[in-house]
C-alpha cells in the first residue's frame, strides 16, 4: 500500500469511529431524556411535568459529570493502586512517552506504575494538560521497545483524541440513567404514581398502557445505556489503534503487543468491572470467575490486529496466526 493510501486509510478509520462515537453518545442522551420525562410525567401527571423531569435529569447528570470530571481520574488511579514514577525509575518508558508526546503535540502525561506482572496499561484524566497513563510492571518486563512504543502511542492517542474525557462523561451519563431509573422504580413500588396517572393521560386503559411503557423504559434504559457505553468503548479502541499507527508510522509493534497482552495468562488483580474498559486489552480473562456475565468492553483482538494489518497492506490473520503472532519478538 502506498504512503498516501495508508494515510487515507487510517484517517478514514479515525473519521468513521468519531462519527460512530458521537451517534452513540446522542443515543445515551436520548435515553436519559426519556427516563427524565417518564419520571416527571408520572410524578406530576402532566406533559409539563415530563419536561420538568428532563430538566431535573440534566441537573443530576451535570452534577455527577462535574464530580467525575474533576475527581474521576484520581479515584481510578487509587482503585488501581497505581504509584507515580520519576524519570530515573523507568528511563526507557519515560523516553518513549516523551518522544511520542512530542509527536502527538501534547504535554507528557504523569506516569504511574501498577505493581502487577500481568501486562496492561490505561490512560485517564480530563484533558491533555491533566492526563495520566498507568502501566503494569508486567508490561515493562514482557514487551520490547517497539511493542512498548505501540502501546504508549495507543494510550497517548486516547489522551490526544480526548477519549479520556469522553469515557469519564459517558460513564457519568450512564450512571445518571441508572440512578434515575432506580428512583422511578422505587417510587412506583411504594405507590407514588397512583395520585397522578389519570389526571392528564386520559385515565383507564390508556393510563395503564402508558404506565407499563414507563416501567419497561425504566427497567431497560440502564441496560441499553450500558450497551451503548460498551459500544462507545469499542469504537474508541479502534480509533486509538489507528491513531497509534499515525504517531509511530509502524503498526507492527502494536500488533505484537496486543497479541502478547491478550495471550498472557497472568491475572490483573486490581482490575474490576468499573475500570476494565480503560485498559488497552480487557484485563479480566475469560477463565476468571469474575468474568461470568461480563459484556465485551473491547473489540475482538483478531479484528483489531487485522485492521492494523490493513493499514500496511498486510495479509489478514486467522485465529491460529494471531496465536503465532503473540510469540514473535
Please give the Cα distance from 196 to 153 (Å, whole number). Answer: 56
CB 98 within 8 A of CB 90: no
Sign of CA dihedral 239, 242, 248, 251: positive
Q: Which residues are catalytic, by number?
A: 155
On the CB side of 44, CA atoms within 13 Å amount to 16
Q: How many CB atoms lie within 10 A of CB 69?
A: 16
The alpha carbon dihedral of 128, 131, 136, 141 has a sign of: positive
Amino acid at each position: 500500500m502506498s504512503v498516501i493510501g495508508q494515510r487515507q486509510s487510517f484517517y478514514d478509520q479515525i473519521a468513521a469511529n468519531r462519527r460512530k462515537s458521537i451517534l452513540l453518545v446522542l443515543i445515551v442522551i436520548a435515553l436519559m431524556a426519556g427516563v427524565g420525562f417518564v419520571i416527571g410525567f408520572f410524578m406530576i401527571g402532566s406533559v409539563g411535568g415530563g419536561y420538568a423531569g428532563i430538566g431535573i435529569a440534566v441537573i443530576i447528570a451535570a452534577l455527577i459529570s462535574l464530580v467525575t470530571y474533576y475527581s474521576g481520574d484520581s479515584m481510578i488511579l487509587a482503585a488501581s493502586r497505581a504509584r507515580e514514577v520519576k524519570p530515573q525509575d523507568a528511563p526507557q518508558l519515560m523516553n518513549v512517552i516523551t518522544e511520542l508526546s512530542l509527536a502527538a503535540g501534547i504535554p507528557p502525561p504523569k506516569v504511574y506504575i501498577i505493581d502487577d506482572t500481568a501486562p496492561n496499561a490505561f490512560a485517564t484524566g480530563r484533558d491533555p494538560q491533566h492526563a495520566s497513563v498507568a502501566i503494569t510492571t508486567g508490561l515493562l518486563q514482557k514487551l520490547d521497545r517497539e511493542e512498548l512504543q505501540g502501546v504508549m502511542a495507543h494510550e497517548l492517542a486516547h489522551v490526544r483524541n480526548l477519549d479520556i474525557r469522553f469515557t469519564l462523561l459517558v460513564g457519568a451519563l450512564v450512571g445518571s440513567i441508572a440512578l434515575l431509573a432506580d428512583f422511578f422504580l422505587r417510587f412506583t413500588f411504594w405507590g407514588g404514581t397512583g395520585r397522578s396517572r389519570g389526571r392528564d393521560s386520559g385515565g383507564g386503559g390508556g393510563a395503564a398502557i402508558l404506565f407499563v411503557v414507563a416501567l419497561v423504559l425504566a427497567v431497560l434504559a440502564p441496560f441499553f445505556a450500558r450497551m451503548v457505553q460498551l459500544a462507545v468503548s469499542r469504537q474508541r479502541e479502534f480509533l486509538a489503534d489507528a491513531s497509534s499507527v499515525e504517531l509511530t508510522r509502524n503498526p507492527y509493534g502494536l500488533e505484537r503487543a496486543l497479541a502478547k497482552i491478550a495471550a498472557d495468562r497472568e491475572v490483573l488483580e486490581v482490575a474490576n468491572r468499573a475500570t476494565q474498559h480503560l485498559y488497552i486489552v480487557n484485563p479480566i480473562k475469560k477463565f476468571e470467575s469474575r468474568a461470568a456475565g461480563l459484556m465485551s468492553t473491547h473489540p475482538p483482538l483478531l479484528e483489531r490486529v487485522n485492521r492494523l494489518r490493513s493499514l500496511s497492506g498486510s495479509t489478514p490473520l486467522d485465529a491460529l496466526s494471531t496465536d503465532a503472532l503473540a510469540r514473535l519478538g
